[in-house]
Chains A and B, each alone.
Chain A
């Protein structure tokens, strides 16, 4: 740092800031840089909110996501009214069209049913642990609260999107965890030991990258028996997504490790009799960690989109499990969307989640490596 003994006093403040840049730890600098990109911070905050909402899905949703209501097929989203000075809705009811003999759902504007908070309803378990029957809000029967309308079987889309988010939003995290484990182990081994191992790993990676992504996912997912229990299928689908995605991370880690391998401190550690494992764990992985996190964050949107696409095509999660892709499968026909546009709401959820992850990852990358 340049130091000028007698410059003008106005430079003093700046000097102080410059000096402390040299003293604070690396990670704090990264946090500082990350916080400068407001869009990324906003993306992160929205994501945290989405995760909280999704975890508390059953508490927040007024209806049971699986309950079939024959009277409310394709019911419109409830109209919220402030006519009573308090948010309320009108009831909808199924009416038989006597000319065409079809049922349509119509809104009855005569009575307002106020929305109440912390009402009792069906019982549920949050995270499979806490049992309760209190819901954040609800209305009195016979009205039913459909924030985002109902699907072809009268199931509440709001509840289904929230519940589906549990799969879709966690697939990203679980999948990326698998990617990190696979990618860092293989990448580190490849970069650290070099030679035959490296050659073999690199050829394997090239081979995997010679398959187009989606057809490979499809082929792998098609290999899963269709009768699997939901949890098992969830795990395998995530594994399928991770199996294709780890190659990028492995390459990055390999490059990093190779650079560290030739660094003096590694030679020093080897000379001091450190074992390979110890050198990798104490010297290399911590150094590569920030890069691993960034690459992982960049991979999450791909995993989420992958699950959605697979489920949409009927090869990922299968009903009765719900995920955003499964829900969008009901909106495959243009006619359905034109008549009942609210069937596309899960799509908005997907876009929002992926968008926020992209923004977040972008900010993280700039924070870790401003010139990269």
Chain B
């Protein structure tokens, strides 16, 4: 069991606490990640000290409104933060195998061979827009083969066989034909399957899925989620699943991190998030989803206000301007530290209500 983290946003204990169980096998550990964008109008602090862990074979859901930094977290892990963004500080520790000495991805040069070998081979990624995430000028098969040839060093024919195999695995009807099709000949759901095939072609240790089903219709979404879940169990990979849809979280994830304005405000198992939410933001998020079986004619609640202007820095707790339990003099002055809930080391929250 992991220990509660220090109540400071900047210092993460590097020495393993005595209570850390040896069997805890963490694939990815992000520590106090800061990502800033230096634009002409000002500095946008996209991530302000994000820390989380993904255990091997588990699915971590990262939830939050648009603009809270979910996607930047995933891009930072891949070292693909677009300009003018920059990782200011933090560590991203990655262990390909259990008990291996972790590699801090941020110490690797962005375009170095080591980083590129991890990208697409050990960590791969699926994007939100299946319509635009495949290159329109090359066939689906060619794009999958590209990764296989690059990372597995096989010849073209072998790569083609493997590409067709993986296309079959993601449930494509007639994979031989799909392999020689161009992306514009496929539907959105098929393209997303092709993307998943590409991401899984090198059996990654960690899959980052950035809102993979947002652009799909509900039936296709269900199929894709089921496919991902099945493949995850089969390959035994970990998934960082980014979404704003709590329904999807319930279906997919083992653990959930709720993000607000570049910080993780609550982290817990999926059951704790749904049945024992602590942070006012999490509570409000949960109230804003419609439920079956709830009383009729009850209005869905929405969270008042919206995410503040990204150029400004909100003092104290970033959520205080919108928080129903706002305590003047405390919340707008002091940033709440990370605290464990009810002594459960696997449930942490950042809110003055629980300090």
Contacts and interface: CB of A to CB of B under 8 A. Distances in A.
Q: Judge: A and B partners, yes or no.
A: yes
Interface of A: 2-8, 10-11, 14-15
A6 to B, nearest CB: 5
B321 A6 contact: yes
A11 B321 contact: no
A8 B308 CA distance: 10
A4 B315 contact: no
B321 A2 contact: no
A4 B311 contact: no
B23 interface: no
A7 B310 CA distance: 11
Q: Say whether chain A's binding surface is mostly helix, strand, loop, or mixed.
A: loop
A4 B306 contact: yes
B317 to A, nearest CB: 12
Contacts of B322: 4
B312 interface: yes
A11 B309 contact: yes
Contacts of B308: 4, 7, 11
Nearest to B312: A11
Contacts of B314: 7-8
- Residue among B307, B312, B320, B322 with the highest chain A CB neighbour number at 10 A: B312
Nearest to A2: B306
A8 B312 contact: yes
A360 B308 CA distance: 38
B313 interface: yes
Nearest to B311: A14
A372 B7 CA distance: 50
Contacts of B309: 2, 4, 7, 11, 14-15
B305 interface: yes
Contacts of A15: 309
Interface string B289-322: 0000000000000000111110111110000111
Interface string B305-342: 11111011111000011100000000010000000000
Q: Say whether chain B's binding surface is mostly helix, strand, loop, or mixed.
A: loop
Nearest to B42: A14
A48 B182 CA distance: 54
B311 to A, nearest CB: 7
A7 B305 CA distance: 11
- Residue among A5, A6, A10, A14 with the highest chain B CB neighbour number at 10 A: A6
Contacts of B311: 11, 14
B315 A8 contact: yes
Nearest to A18: B309
Nearest to A10: B312
- Residue among A2, A7, A11 with the highest chain B CB neighbour number at 10 A: A7
A4 B323 CA distance: 12
Contact of A8 (B306, B307, B313): B313
A10 B42 CA distance: 12
A5 B305 contact: yes
B127 to A, nearest CB: 23
Nearest to A6: B321
A74 B294 CA distance: 98
Given A8-B313, A10-B312, 5 more contacts: A2-B307, A3-B305, A6-B320, A7-B312, A15-B309
A8 B312 CA distance: 7
A2 B305 CA distance: 8
A333 B341 CA distance: 91
B303 to A, nearest CB: 12
15 contacts: A2-B307, A4-B308, A4-B322, A5-B321, A6-B321, A7-B309, A7-B314, A8-B312, A8-B314, A8-B315, A10-B313, A11-B312, A14-B311, A14-B312, A15-B309
Contacts of B320: 6
A4 B308 CA distance: 6
A8 B333 CA distance: 11
> What 6 pairs across the A-B complex have the smallest Cβ distances?
A11-B312, A6-B321, A2-B306, A4-B308, A7-B308, A4-B305
Contacts of B313: 8, 10
A5 B306 CA distance: 10
B312 to A, nearest CB: 4
Contacts of A6: 320-321, 332
A7 B321 contact: yes
Contacts of B305: 3-5
A6 B313 CA distance: 12
A4 B303 CA distance: 12
A4 B314 CA distance: 11
A11 B332 CA distance: 15
A102 B332 CA distance: 93
A8 B310 CA distance: 12
A325 to B, nearest CB: 43
Nearest to B326: A6
A11 to B, nearest CB: 4
A190 B164 CA distance: 52
B354 to A, nearest CB: 23
Contacts of A2: 306-307, 309
A184 B171 CA distance: 56
A4 B311 CA distance: 13
A95 B309 CA distance: 79
A71 B305 CA distance: 85
Interface in B92-119: none
A3 B322 CA distance: 11
A4 B309 CA distance: 9
A14 B311 CA distance: 9
A316 to B, nearest CB: 46
Nearest to A3: B305
A318 to B, nearest CB: 53
Contacts of B321: 4-7
A4 B312 CA distance: 12
Nearest to B332: A6
A204 B188 CA distance: 42
A29 B15 CA distance: 58
A13 to B, nearest CB: 10
Contacts of A10: 312-313
Nearest to B315: A8
Contacts of A4: 305-306, 308-309, 321-322
A3 B309 CA distance: 9
Contacts of B307: 2
A11 B306 CA distance: 15
A158 to B, nearest CB: 44
- Residue among B309, B320, B322, B332 with the highest chain A CB neighbour number at 10 A: B309
